[in-house]
Amino acid sequence: MSVNLKINNIDVTVPEGSTILEAARSIDIDIPTLCYLKDINEVGSCRICVVEVKGMRALQASCVYPVSEGMEVFTNTKNVRDVRKINLELILSNHERKCLTCNRNKNCELQTLSNDLGVSEIRYEGENPHYNVDKLSASIVRDPNKCIICRRCVNVCKNIQTVSVIDANERGFKTIIGSAFNMPLAETPCTNCGQCIVVCPVGALREKEEIDTVWEALADPKKHVFVQTAPAVRVALGEEFDMPIGTRVTGKMASALKLMGFDGVFDTNTAADFTIMEEGTELLQRLENGGKLPLITSCSPGWVKFCEHNFPDFLDNLSTAKSPHEMFGAIMKSYYAEKQGIDPADIFVVSVMPCTAKKFESKREELSSTGYPDVDAVVTTRELGKMIKQSGIDFVKLPDGEFDAPFGIGSGAAAIFGTTGGVMEAALRTVADILTGEDIKQIEYNAVRGMKGIKEASLQIAGKKVRIAVVSGLGNARKLLDKIRAGEVQYEFIEIMGCPGGCVTGGGQPIVSSKIKMDIDVHAARAAAIYAEDESMEVRKSYKNPIVKKIYEDYFIEPCGHLSHKLLHTHYKQRENYY
């Protein structure tokens, strides 16, 4: 059914159940918002989006107020503008206004709104308590002094990810967002996914930066500093330089990294092909030898930690294969060090990732099979953008460069690791060929593509029935694993990514404002670029990667063999769940 109403004397027809905000946007009337975030936080708490509704004395929050037949709405009266400005000034009255040194300077929704609404002075100087900044997490820094209590982080953590480690403490003016008993995030079951960071409209949440660590390594003449970049980074990095969402900047990124002084600029896609070889072989062995099923992917560290806290009974189902960037680090400090005659102690591996959880992952003691950490530093896509700017590089004007040999060749299968369904599809491309003994030409598995949180399919491969599921977002992982626990569903192979939509919308990716998210499907735009990268590749199956084939022949001998198991596999542990 449709509803007819007037907004600023313009006739509007929208579906029943629409809000005033949605109705206004349907005719390109922009109502400012702050706490609102489509599908995540629709609570009307900040009162910035208020409008007048004819016949009602009080102004109404347009983000939550439903339309009705014959309603008349006014979005730009003097009263509306004055109240919005007063509400904003009250929010600013106890906000730490250190904008020039804030990590969100020039990309802050509060800052933008202050400019748009004409706030030129702070008329209400109230009590401004100071809180300690939580820096103990390996991945996330929380600064309550910049928090505006919009609750976006609370709702993404509680309702989307179902981790629920933060909420509103105290009441009224003393309200503060934090964990139970004000524990540091590091002492909670936080998965380090960083989804709280990408929904925060201000600088209250940020990644724990390792920029200075990388610059120090690059300045050390004794260090051989190698960098690798994940597939999702190349379809988002351009946004840090005002390029359209979903722009592929693979070549420019390689050029920038070389100008920054890295001794080798490599592609994590090469390591992703190793992951498929190891994980695919592990799946085949479990299918043929009666191993623990379903096999569940392990390349998402946020998902792995979530499993360790909440589903320890599934730890034996996890693939023991390391995530691609950790495999790369292990290969660099074993095979590459040996071939190049470099002491592994002098190798410094930097991972550029779309993921804040990779920072925590790199600190795990078990990921040091060579006697040294596989990865020494992890920087997010956002951090790389900052480093390029610090270097004085005009990124947009850079010519396209290439990755260095030998780890500059990746397959199309590796490229699609960056989006939900990509790991599953990449694995199936190799596993199907091995099972059938054929080079199967139809390699797009459309059943595992798309943004749906849980996707299921049943495939016949060489006479074997393989039931699969693809999950993105920890809340969806919880739903599926609860069903498996209850015996309601059965699978042989499951891909789980911790972030909704996969790595392309990871916690370390460029932050997109709530206003843009109303109009653009960020995941779809970045995922389309990922699939375009795959289609442009000459090699589109992992086992056909010539570098991967050579290293197995020269060094590892075979997937899941003795040496590869030592260097490329890991183990997990049950972690306490405090709640």
Res 578: pLDDT: 58
Catalytic residue list contains 239: no
Q: Is-contact 475 306, C-beta < 8 A?
A: no
Active-site residue among 361, 383, 492, 495?
361
Q: Is-contact 1 45, C-beta < 8 A?
A: no
Q: Is-contact 491 468, C-beta < 8 A?
A: yes
Catalytic residue list contains 179: no
Give strand ranges (E) for 76-195. Answer: 140-142, 167-169, 176-178
Catalytic residue list contains 279: yes
Catalytic residue list contains 499: no
Catalytic residue list contains 538: no
The CA distance from 500 to 492, in Å, is 22
Domain 220-568 has CATH 2.30.29.30: no
Closest CA to 197 of 302, 125, 298: 302
Please write the tens of the pLDDT for every residue from 239-264: 999 999 999 999 999 999 999 999 99
Return the amino acid letter for 525: A
| Alpha-carbon 146 to chain mean position | 23
Res 221: pLDDT: 96
Furthest C-alpha separation in the chain: 81
Residue 94 CB burial class (10 angstroms; 0-12, 13-18, ≥19): middle
Active-site residue among 52, 278, 279, 425?
279
Q: What is the pLDDT along the chain (579 residues), one digit of tens a residue?
A: 999 999 999 999 999 999 999 999 999 999 999 999 999 999 999 999 999 999 999 999 999 999 999 999 999 999 999 999 999 999 999 899 999 999 999 999 999 999 999 999 888 887 888 999 999 999 999 999 999 999 999 999 999 999 999 999 998 888 999 999 889 999 999 999 999 999 999 999 999 999 999 999 999 999 999 999 999 999 999 999 999 999 999 999 999 999 999 999 999 999 999 999 999 999 999 998 888 999 999 999 999 999 999 999 999 999 999 999 999 999 999 999 999 999 999 999 999 999 999 999 999 999 999 999 999 999 999 999 999 999 999 999 999 999 999 999 999 999 999 999 999 999 999 988 888 888 888 888 888 898 899 999 998 877 888 999 999 999 999 999 999 999 999 999 999 999 999 999 999 999 999 999 999 999 999 999 999 999 999 899 999 999 999 999 999 999 999 999 999 999 999 998 754
Res 124: pLDDT: 87
Active-site residue among 319, 323, 334, 472?
319
Closest CA to 352 of 237, 223, 219, 499: 237
Q: Which residues pair with 94 in a beta bridge?
A: none
Q: Where in the chain is the domain with CATH 3.30.70.20?
A: 129-208
Active-site residue among 63, 147, 200, 299?
299
Q: Is-contact 421 450, C-beta < 8 A?
A: yes
Tokens 């590749």 correspond to 537
pTM above 0.75, yes or no: yes
CATH code given to domain 129-208: 3.30.70.20
Res 75: pLDDT: 98
Q: Where in the chain is the domain with CATH 3.40.50.1780?
A: 220-568
Q: Where in the chain is the domain with CATH 3.10.20.740?
A: 2-92
Rg (CA), the chain: 25
Q: Is-contact 469 454, C-beta < 8 A?
A: yes
Active-site residue among 216, 366, 402, 438?
366
Active-site residue among 207, 210, 239, 282?
282
Active-site residue among 258, 358, 359, 541?
358
Q: Which residues pair with 276 in a beta bridge?
A: none
CATH code given to domain 2-92: 3.10.20.740
Catalytic residue list contains 358: yes
The H or E element that residue 275 is part of is helix 268-289
